Chain A
Amino acid sequence: MSGSSGFLDELEVDALTELVNIGVSRAASSLRQMVQRQVFLSVPSIEVISRRDAATLMAEREIGPLVAVRQEFTGAFAGRALLIFPEANSLALVRAVTGDELSEAEAADLEDEALAETGNVVLNNCLATMANMLQRPLEMSLPGVMRDPGPALFEIDAGEDDGVVLFLYINFAVTERDIRGYIAILMDLPSLDALKTLVGEFIQRVLGQGAAAEA
């Protein structure tokens, strides 16, 4: 990914991409079980950009209001994981994960709760998998639902330092349901340095000493 040059080399980006790929695959697998439908994933995309650009990037890709389920994580690296989807998809997602057993009114009542739980399953799976791959523990906060968060999605407030973040996102779409969304992970730069080290270790581990020496 061109945006990450200078922070991570090509191989590191590849590795991080695969790391997320592994995590999201696990998350998709759990989502697949929840909705009983095929879930398509895109190849992950990674960019190192400012928070403001990240917000723009997300806003560009959606016209209507968004709903996000977020979980903060701390540990060897810290940041925020987000499951983002158009607000218009929200109920459909709720109905999908509850197996269409709920009426519309019931689904509406349970919406935030169901969304939080869905987000928790997906994000937890993803982050836990990644932590597992990096062999580092991660502390996860409780999931929170944000409706139409706008810039707040990426914590852009007036006066706050508009630092550079690592922005990973993956499109997903659920067949036979008009459901699609993104999984995004933001990491602060101090974490990024830690991540760089962890990724290097990850490469060594997955390729084995011999293969890693080739690089």
Chain B
Amino acid sequence: MSTSAQTSSTLAGATGAWAWDFATGQVQGDARFAALMGLDVAEAAAGLAAERFFQRVLHEDRMRLRIAIAAVGHGAEVFARDFRVAAPDGVRWLSARGRAEHTPDTPIRFTGVLIDISEQKRTEERLRVAQSAGGVGTFEYVEGFGTASVSDQFCRLLGLHPADALPVRTINGLVHPHDPPLISAYTSEVDAPIEAELRIRRADTGAERWLALRGERRPSGDGVGVSFVGAIYDITAAKAAEAKLREMAATLEQRVEARTQERDRLWNNSRDLFAVLNPAGVYQAVNPAWSALLGLSEDEVVGRHFSEFVHPDDLMGAEDHWTERAVLADRDARMRSKEHGWRWFNWTVIPAGNDFYATGRDVNERKQLEDQLRQSQKMEAVGQLTGGLAHDFNNMLTGVLGGLDMVRRRIGQGRVAEAERFIDAAVSSAERAAALTHRLLAFSRRQTLDPQAVNVNQLISSMADMLRRTLGERVDLAVVLQPDLWTALIDANQLESALLNLAINARDAMPDGGKLTLETSNIHLDRPLAAGSDQLPPGDYLMVGVSDTGTGMPEHVIARAFDPFFTTKPLGQGTGLGLSMVYGFAHQSGGHVSIYSAPGLGTTVKLYLPRHLADTPAAQVSNRGEAPGGAGETVLVVEDEPAVRAVIVELLNELGYQTLEVADTDSALKILHSSRQIDLLISDVGLPGLNGRQLADVARQSRPDLPVLFITGYAAGAARRSEFLAPGMEMISKPFAVDALALKIRAMIGS
């Protein structure tokens, strides 16, 4: 780099000073002035002819410069002129600014400065392009003045004719009255950034526009006062977008509001119960339907646990459900009504967030209809039962009466030996009738059960031989028993009977032979086992399965399999009571029975029996043996049925007991209150007046150790033997074998 170039670049932008002497026509300048003008420094310092100065100026600008300076010579005060001079690296733009002091006609002093504005010119050009392209307008306002210097773009943004300066009032007059003036004292701090957004009304079109302003206050160029320099740009589009967004947000709120109102209407007007519950199951909110349907106000429900309102029987499993936060659907439960007892509701409960949302539909009417339907079905069943029963009983009575008639004839004919055959036939018929009544009672669940701890595996093993005979040669019997099988609490005889029934059904389903499997296993239920309309509560059960490889059943047959008198067997081969008896037994025992079958795939019947948690049972003692005789002990017999009473008394006498017989409780009480020796009371359960159990209680008041034997056809209150009997009391069901009665009596008196 050359020395002159270095000098030139060092001086770029620096200020040169000059003084003009009109009297001598000479210009004096400092070193910077000389460098900028390309003049000799010493010459400039000494003062050089004005013409030397003008010659340095490019021709295009020289005349204008001459005029401006001449004007000062003629009285103009302000001098400002930009001009170009030739420079080693091209053209240099210079700006001369000056001020003259005059006596009225002649200047006495004219001085000024000279600045290289080449860079500024280029920058200005770039800025002008940038402002125009970017839509940015700039301004500079020296505080205290009435006008501000502005760029063309500034004017265009306000809709004004382009001008270099605009009065502040003109600018601010376009600003929206509610917005800050565009040019104002935003802050008293110098160098503090100023930011504002404001609306203006364009002077040309009257359109409202949004402008953003960025600026700062800083000391003004001449060191006097403070100038506010800033830029503005149009942000109407952004504001419009913002406004639109806000409007959308606002309408969104409206929409949400509308939706909320709809939901509120639903909440308020629904005939269904709505409720929000917290995780603990406490009602947080309930809808007005609670009041309409249950007579419960919001205050009476909110804050209380749901279990206070749900029928205890219907709560089963609800707590588990709650803790698992599962969706509960289509669950019927009774709700406490304030004045009218319980009402049925079908509930759906859905966990959401922390809370639960519950809706309950009033199904009381449906439930009532269901009850009515059930009742009518029951009546229909009773009708069927009565008809079937009458038919079967007539057959059996025909056997009994016909047999007895034949016996009488043979005896009358003196052919006593031939009577034996007919007696056997009559007894057989009567026994079948007795078996039928047992089944009926089992079905009606009124059978007297004698639940005991039973080892089911042992029971099945003992039945195996009998089952094999029953099944015949074409059916294989497989027994799969779970070791360590729990003890069941059931009536062993009924289980035997049930298994036999199931085995026979299985055999009949396998006319061409097959395989019957009997299996046992322990089952623990964590949750209720839903089984049709019933539910098996959680707990321990023994499962006894009876599976065949037979023809199986279609669905509609399974649906009716437990119905009494429903049978697929040919007329006369079954009563249709087998499975319904199994069903009755299972349910009365606190268990359950279910069928799995499909045509061609065989059938599996599973019996669920309750587990007995006490000790394992003692081996069952056989009660078979010779009828033991009495030793003159006195037995009081209370029985209102003369035929039965006569048979009992006859039997007792034959066995060697003394007997006292009465037909009603009053007579019995007289004897019991007397001082007569009585060793045993035998009483019917179903008596007019006091029943047998009550009679026994009265008797025990005066004779605490008196053994009592009840005889029962069936007794509503005596369905479960153990719950009916006190110590020293026993029970025997009608009809009974004479030998069985004799054994019972002997055992009781003997002990």
Contacts and interface: CB of A to CB of B under 8 A. Distances in A.
B67 A14 contact: yes
- Residue from B59, B163, B172 whose CB has the most chain A CB atoms within 10 Å: B163
B721 interface: no
Interface string B57-94: 00100111011101101111110100000000000000
A28 B77 CA distance: 9
Contacts of B71: 18-19, 21-22, 206
Contacts of B66: 207, 211
For A28, A61, A63, the residue with the greatest tally of chain B CB atoms inside 10 Å of its CB is A61
Contacts of B169: 62-64, 86
Contacts of B64: 10-11, 14
Interface in B37-71: 59, 62-64, 66-68, 70-71
B77 A29 contact: yes
B161 A207 contact: no
A22 B76 CA distance: 4
A124 interface: no
A206 B161 contact: no
A62 B64 CA distance: 32
Contact of A60 (B63, B70, B145, B160): B160
Interface residues of B, number: 33
Interface residues of A, number: 38
B70 A18 contact: yes
B163 to A, nearest CB: 8
A35 to B, nearest CB: 15
Nearest to B159: A60
Interface in A158-188: 171, 173, 175, 178, 180
A129 B75 contact: yes
A63 B74 contact: no
A206 B70 contact: yes
Contacts of A63: 169-170, 172-173
A206 B73 contact: yes
A175 B144 CA distance: 7
A42 B63 contact: no
Interface in A1-48: 10-11, 14-15, 18-19, 21-22, 25-26, 28-29, 40-43, 45
B68 A18 contact: yes
A57 B172 CA distance: 16
Contacts of A21: 71, 76-78
Interface string A190-203: 00000000000001
Q: For B62, B66, B147, which residue has the most chain A Cβ atoms within 10 angstroms?
A: B66
A214 B62 contact: yes
B75 A25 contact: yes
A86 B160 CA distance: 19
Contacts of B617: none
Interface in B628-680: none
Interface in A93-109: none
Interface string B155-176: 0000011011111011011000
Q: Pick the most buried of A15, A18, A22, A62: most chain B CB atoms within 10 A of its CB.
A: A18
Contacts of B67: 11, 14-15, 18, 203, 206-207
Interface centre among B76, B161, B172, B173 (most CB of A within 10 A): B76
A61 B70 CA distance: 31
Contacts of A15: 67
B102 interface: yes
A215 interface: yes
Interface string B168-189: 0110110000000000000000
B76 A207 contact: no
Contacts, number: 91
Given A60-B161, A62-B170, A63-B173, A43 B80 contact: yes
> Binding site of A, secondary structure by majority: helix, strand, loop or mixed?
helix
A195 to B, nearest CB: 16
Given A14-B64, A18-B70, A180-B147, A62 B167 contact: yes
A189 interface: no
A91 interface: no
Contacts of B146: 171, 173, 178, 180
Interface in B182-208: 203
A207 B70 contact: yes
Most buried by B among A10, A11, A41, A206: A206
A15 B66 CA distance: 10
Contacts of B147: 42, 171, 173, 180
Contact of B145 (A11, A45, A180): A180
Interface string A41-82: 111010000000000110011111000000000000000000
A41 B77 CA distance: 9
Contacts of B145: 40, 173, 180
A38 to B, nearest CB: 10
Contacts of B77: 21, 25, 28-29, 41
Contact of A214 (B63, B68, B160, B173): B63
Nearest to A215: B63
B143 to A, nearest CB: 12
A13 B144 CA distance: 31
A121 interface: no
Contacts of A206: 67, 70-71, 73-74
A133 interface: yes
Interface in A121-153: 129, 133
Contacts of B173: 63
Nearest to A2: B162
Contacts of B165: 42, 171
A10 B71 CA distance: 16
A173 B145 CA distance: 7
B422 to A, nearest CB: 139
Contacts of A56: 161
A29 B102 contact: yes
Contacts of A14: 64, 67-68
Contacts of A25: 75-78, 102
Contacts of A133: 74
A19 B74 CA distance: 9
Contacts of A11: 63-64, 67
A22 B74 contact: yes
Interface in B263-315: none
28 contacts: A11-B64, A11-B67, A19-B71, A21-B71, A21-B76, A21-B78, A22-B71, A22-B76, A25-B75, A25-B77, A29-B102, A42-B147, A43-B78, A45-B163, A56-B161, A60-B161, A60-B166, A60-B170, A62-B169, A86-B169, A171-B146, A171-B165, A173-B145, A173-B146, A206-B70, A206-B73, A207-B63, A211-B63
Given A206-B74, A207-B70, 18 more contacts: A10-B64, A14-B64, A14-B68, A21-B76, A40-B145, A41-B78, A42-B165, A43-B78, A45-B164, A60-B170, A62-B170, A63-B172, A171-B165, A173-B146, A180-B167, A203-B67, A214-B59, A215-B63
Interface of A: 10-11, 14-15, 18-19, 21-22, 25-26, 28-29, 40-43, 45, 56-57, 60-64, 86, 129, 133, 171, 173, 175, 178, 180, 203, 206-207, 211, 214-215
List the 4 closest A-B pairs by CB distance, nearest first: A18-B71, A180-B146, A63-B173, A206-B70
